Amino acid sequence: MLLLCGKSCTGKSTIIEELRKLGIKEVVSYSTRPPRPGEVDGIAYHFITKEEFFEKEKQGFFAETTSYNVASGETWHYGSAMEDLTDDKVIIVNPHGLKQIRKMKQLNPIAFHIIASKTTIMDRAKKRGDNTDEVLRSLIADDFDFEDINSYIDFAFRSDLGLSPKVMAEMILYTYRKTMEDKNN
């Protein structure tokens, strides 16, 4: 399974769009956060209520879950369905989700850390129209959440060095396939 892990606005979703064009299926996670403008239910996320999320969690539906206390005071919950996680797919996870998936014996996760500078992250967040308070909260939380990330990733790629998302996706996919091939030999 190909895992993309990175702070907010590092380019993970854009890279996934390119990976989909290359034939890789994406795991669509579940979220209780409201959709951003232009996000489509079932494509960006499966947008569900908190009640639905907690019921699915209680039933053991999720392989991994995480929650964020956001600047508005709300808590947004995210999770990935156990049945959706297979080695032929890609998923975006945070460090907590990455650690949970690494424990799943039936998967062969290869984790890629997508990195961008704080300046790039701020610029991308502004262009995306994100709430400034939420971006600042996220930057602070990400510093803590990603503190020991190098212990859990296999490869790191910078998304702010001028490479197109298409080229990055091709590099990641090549690295993923080569690593899986080496593991199987």
Write down the residue that tokens 């009640």 correspond to.
51
The C-alpha atoms of residue 92 and residue 110 are separated, in whole angstroms, by: 12
Query: Which pLDDT score, from 0 to 100, does residue 83 have?
Result: 95
Q: What is the pTM of this model?
A: 0.89
- Each residue's pLDDT tens digit, 70-98: 888 899 999 999 999 999 999 999 999 99
Which of 184 and 41 is assigned the larger pLDDT? 41
Find, among 13, 4, 30, the residue nearest to 98 by Cα: 4
The average pLDDT across 161-171 equals: 95
Provide the β-strand partners of residue 62: 81
Residues in the chain, total? 185
